[in-house]
Amino acid sequence: MHETISDASCKASKGRKVKYIKPTSFDCDARTFRFIEEKWAVSISTTGKRLTASIRASSYHRGKLKGQKPTSAKVCLHRDGNWYVHIQLKSEAPKTQKTSNVIGVDFGRRDIAVTSTGQSWSGKEIKETRDKFSRVRASLQRRASQGTRSTRRRARKILKRLSGRERRYQSWLNHNISKAIITEAKETQSFVSVEDLTGIRDRTNQKPRSKTERRRSNSWAFFQLRTFLEYKGIKEGVEVIAINPAYTSQSCHCCLHIGLRSNKSFKCSNVKCGWIGDADDNGSKMIALVGLSVNQPRGSELLACPIDSRATKSPHHIVRA
């Protein structure tokens, strides 16, 4: 049996004997794991003997398992003290088609996500919900360290109950957002272009800001949202590409010139263009454009200002999204 060593137990200093290894999970393959459909049970070989346990699962999961022959699984120890078996199923992903339709998605602080097709998830309501979580947590933490013994105990108990609630809210919302985007992409036969956000924290943290502001900007799970988009994309045959976000929020989507961005609005500084509008809307359209240029078989075509070279045409013809 293979045991995963948890992080906490790896911290033993050099030379000292490790006291114990806390088992958290182990992987099973075709030899050590078997799914018995007739009995709705799994058979796992452990160090001692072979263990057979019946499956307690929802009808949704039973439907997924029906007729399958899974050959690998992971046995995990949950926080609640029970052991759970994660059964891995393989399925064929639909092939992605080359397409020139694109949906650009702008991740932001004011709005969680804005698409170039006009869908948006406003940050306001989300901000209020999360501020509430934060307020409750702060007050409980104060009580858990001060006050009488029984108050402290009660506060700790409530904190434990609430832990994970904000995280679950966040992933619930990320599931919703990614599902809506992928569904639209599938219906319109588009691919999805997102920003490669490695480093969004550095970018948004450049200016000195208050503690509350920092908490808000740092803690949205954009990485999770991108991961959800990518795996749902694979499932539905929608391609999701990540582009370099440099200048996407400062460039004008009509003429590619650098413009002025002030909080909510964007103003193009090119006198021939002069586009004015919503900054996030412009950002998502820029992301769509960059994605399109990256994803074309011919290679990049974002070379020069289309207004200068094709002055007679309307600048809006290049926005295909």
Question: Per rule CB under 5 A, is residue 287 in the interface with Zn ion?
Answer: no
Task: Please state, in angstroms and rounded to a whole number, the distance separating the CA atoms of residues 233 and 190.
Answer: 11
Applying CB under 5 A, which part among 89-97, 121-129, 231-239, 260-268 lies near Zn ion?
A: 260-268
Helices (H), 13-87: 59-65
Q: How far is CA 211 from CA 150, 166, 218, 277, in A?
A: 31, 19, 10, 30
Task: Please state, in angstroms and rounded to a whole number, the distance separating the CA atoms of residues 114 and 112.
Answer: 7
Among 112, 275, 284, 321, binds Zn ion (CB under 5 A): 275
Q: How far is the CB of 282 from Zn ion (least distance, A)?
A: 9
Q: How far is the CB of 245 from Zn ion (least distance, A)?
A: 19
Question: Per rule CB under 5 A, is residue 225 in the interface with Zn ion?
Answer: no
Question: Per rule CB under 5 A, is residue 240 in the interface with Zn ion?
Answer: no
Answer yes or no: are the C-beta atoms of 292 and 320 closer than 8 Å: yes
Question: Per rule CB under 5 A, is residue 270 in the interface with Zn ion?
Answer: yes
Cβ closer to Zn ion: 252 or 321? 252
Q: How far is the CB of 111 from Zn ion (least distance, A)?
A: 22
Among 44, 73, 229, 273, binds Zn ion (CB under 5 A): 273
Cβ closer to Zn ion: 226 or 285? 285
Residue 140 CB contacts under 8 Å (≥ 6 apart), including other chains: 155, 158, 159, 162
Question: Per rule CB under 5 A, is residue 42 in the interface with Zn ion?
Answer: no
Question: Per rule CB under 5 A, is residue 268 in the interface with Zn ion?
Answer: yes
Q: Amino acid identity of 65?
A: L
Taking only Cα atoms into account, the Rg of the chain, rounded to an integer number of angstroms, comes to 25
Q: How many other CB atoms are there within 10 angstroms of residue 125's CB atom?
A: 9
Question: Which residues bind to Zn ion, rule: CB under 5 A?
Answer: 252, 254-255, 268, 270, 273, 275
